[in-house]
Chains A and B, each alone.
Chain A
Amino acid sequence: MPTPSHRFTALQRLLHWLMAICIISMLFIGVGMVSTVAPKYVPLVATHKTLGMVILVLALLRLGVRIYSGAPALPANLPEPMKLAALLSHYLLYALMIAMPLLGWAMTSTANYPIVLLGNVQLPAILPQSDRLHTLFWDAHFYLAFAFFALILVHVAAALFHLLVRRDGVFEAMAPVNLPAPRD
């Protein structure tokens, strides 16, 4: 059994897996809604906006928890390039979790659309209408979504690599349930 310092806290693990579900759903809803003219378009867009705001709140909460609680150390024998990749990919994941909802909010604001979430929750515009900024935010939101999905695939592949190949306890540190972790 790992000692507590080998695992993320229960709150961190809860946030990780909850956000994993939200973000993966979000990416699928996003690419699905922009490729359909079917009636589902309307509820998909409303869900996308609502879930985006939920993710923004969770991501900011999670960033605070991460700064407060820290993270278990990576295995000492992990090669330096993999340590660097782990560090950078996690900075990128946090950046995207926070930036994507803000970009969506900004591109909607600069398009002069009222921002109404499920449950008729109205949000204010964060910027005035602007053709140029709308295009900039739209492009960023669109292309970064694919980069985000690719990064998640890399993250999943790395997690499986730790779980199945290296068996070094890295996966177990974030596992939703307490798995018996291999000893170093």
Chain B
Amino acid sequence: MPDSPSSRRLTFGTAAIIAVVVAGSAGAFAYTAGWFSPNRLTPPRLVAAFAPPSGPALGHRRNHAKGICFTGTFESNGKGAELSRAQAFQAGQYPVLGRFNLGTPNPDAPDGTVRVRGMGLQIATPNGEVWRMAMINAPVFPVATPEAFYQLLHAAGSKDPEAMKSFVAAHPEFASFGAWAEGGAWTASYAEEPYNGLNAFTFIDPSGTERAVRWSLVPAAPATAITQAELEKRGPDSLEKEITERVRQAPQRWTMNVVVANPGDVTSDPTKAWPAGRRTLEVGTLVVQKIEAEADGPCREVNFDPTVLPPGIRVSDDPFPAARSAAYTRSYDLRTSESRYYPRTAAGTKP
């Protein structure tokens, strides 16, 4: 190629080629990052929608902010091994770490004011597998998609009294959850509540066969109904005090039931309970042996991300585990960056 001086000048054409390549690449990157899509439901937008008008409680989980840690064991009876090759289903006892919690962004909410109670749970097995889940006491989830959940948060947080009514009118799938929230019994103990996974997951058995399942933890303790007013009178932290005292007296137990979907059952919509009569296996017992305050307890440092799954379990076409994972991760990143605001006790001054 001739090496004439003119060939070394930056011509309009070559400058344009370079500019187009660089600007096009930068534009594609910005598009992927969502900078041109202000309406995209991103983890920061979803998480921000939980905060009350006064702002989030810094240093705390952005939802299910009030909670108390527990440790114990999962006693697997081995029956689940035919459904999933996860080691947690091999007969044996495995250490668990968990958190009883209230479905509220307010870490100081009085216990009697919060309808939804939850359990975060981690089962770790000797081969290094970790299974995390986050369950609630409601029998179904309020909405069918993460987008609808975002709208629900806005409606519930709105000052407009019509906002919730119009949300319910536009989302008939909310009715089942609404009926439970309005008419379901309250109890005075975390130990008397069931904790339902609600989302469908896929179990993979040793032969590689996949099945859609949901799971629940059913309490051994009989439920004693109490009115909400009565519960509120017991004090703002009555649930935490009660479970601490109760576990001190005796370990508390839940049976883990795995329900297998029939062909044709909808797995992508957690507002729809599967019809009765589905194959159900009791796969083991959760035994809660020790309660610890969150500030010093081992659960504070754990994000109960429901997509942390062992081999033998994976997400299904239910859109929520992915959305929850994205949001929980955002919440974890926020609260760890704000940990100076978290009220640590003197014994718990870890970095």
A167: B residues at CB distance < 8 A? 1, 3, 7-8
B308's partner among A32, A113, A120 (CB-CB below 8 A) is: A113
A:72-101 near B, CB below 8 Å: none
Interface size on A, residues (CB 8 A): 43
* CA of A160 to CA of B22, assembled, Å: 10
Whether A32 contacts B326 in the complex (CB less than 8 A), given A114-B130, A165-B14, comes out as no
Nearest-Cβ distance from residue A107 to partner chain B, whole angstroms: 9
Whether A160 contacts B323 in the complex (CB less than 8 A), given A32-B33, A113-B308, A165-B9, comes out as no
- Chain B CB within 8 A of A21 CB: no
- Chain A CB within 8 A of B233 CB: no
Decide if A39 touches B315 in the complex (CB within 8 Å). Answer: yes
Nearest-Cβ distance from residue B298 to partner chain A, whole angstroms: 10
A161: B residues at CB distance < 8 A? 10, 18
- Chain B CB within 8 A of A36 CB: yes
Decide if A37 touches B3 in the complex (CB within 8 Å). Answer: no
B10: A residues at CB distance < 8 A? 161, 165
A144: B residues at CB distance < 8 A? none
Decide if B303 touches A38 in the complex (CB within 8 Å). Answer: no
- Chain B CB within 8 A of A147 CB: no
Decide if B22 touches A157 in the complex (CB within 8 Å). Answer: yes
Nearest-Cβ distance from residue B124 to partner chain A, whole angstroms: 9
Decide if B336 touches A135 in the complex (CB within 8 Å). Answer: yes
A:51-69 near B, CB below 8 Å: none
Chain B residue at minimal CB-CB distance from A114: B130
Nearest-Cβ distance from residue B42 to partner chain A, whole angstroms: 5
Chain A residue at minimal CB-CB distance from B45: A37
Decide if B29 touches A27 in the complex (CB within 8 Å). Answer: yes
- Chain B CB within 8 A of A1 CB: no
* CA of A25 to CA of B61, assembled, Å: 32
Decide if A111 touches B303 in the complex (CB within 8 Å). Answer: yes
Most buried by A among B32, B46, B319, B350: B32
Decide if B41 touches A37 in the complex (CB within 8 Å). Answer: yes
Decide if A153 touches B3 in the complex (CB within 8 Å). Answer: no
* CA of A114 to CA of B322, assembled, Å: 17
B42's partner among A27, A35, A156 (CB-CB below 8 A) is: A35
Question: Hey, what's the 0/1 contact readout for A28-42 against B, CB within 8 Å counting as 1?
Answer: 100111111111111
- Chain A CB within 8 A of B40 CB: yes
Decide if B302 touches A157 in the complex (CB within 8 Å). Answer: no
Decide if B22 touches A120 in the complex (CB within 8 Å). Answer: no
A120: B residues at CB distance < 8 A? 311
Mind listing 24 A-B residue pairs with CB under 8 Å?
A: A28-B32, A36-B40, A37-B146, A38-B319, A39-B315, A111-B303, A113-B303, A114-B128, A114-B308, A120-B311, A130-B351, A131-B336, A131-B339, A131-B351, A133-B351, A153-B26, A157-B18, A157-B21, A160-B14, A160-B21, A164-B14, A165-B8, A180-B1, A183-B1
Interface residues of A, Cβ cutoff 8 Å to B: 27-28, 31-42, 45, 111-114, 120, 122, 129-135, 138, 149, 153, 156-157, 160-161, 164-167, 180, 182-184
Interface residues of B, Cβ cutoff 8 Å to A: 1, 3, 7-11, 14, 17-18, 21-22, 25-26, 28-29, 32-34, 40-43, 46, 128-130, 146, 301-303, 305, 307-308, 311, 315, 317, 319, 321-323, 325-327, 332-333, 336-337, 339, 350-351
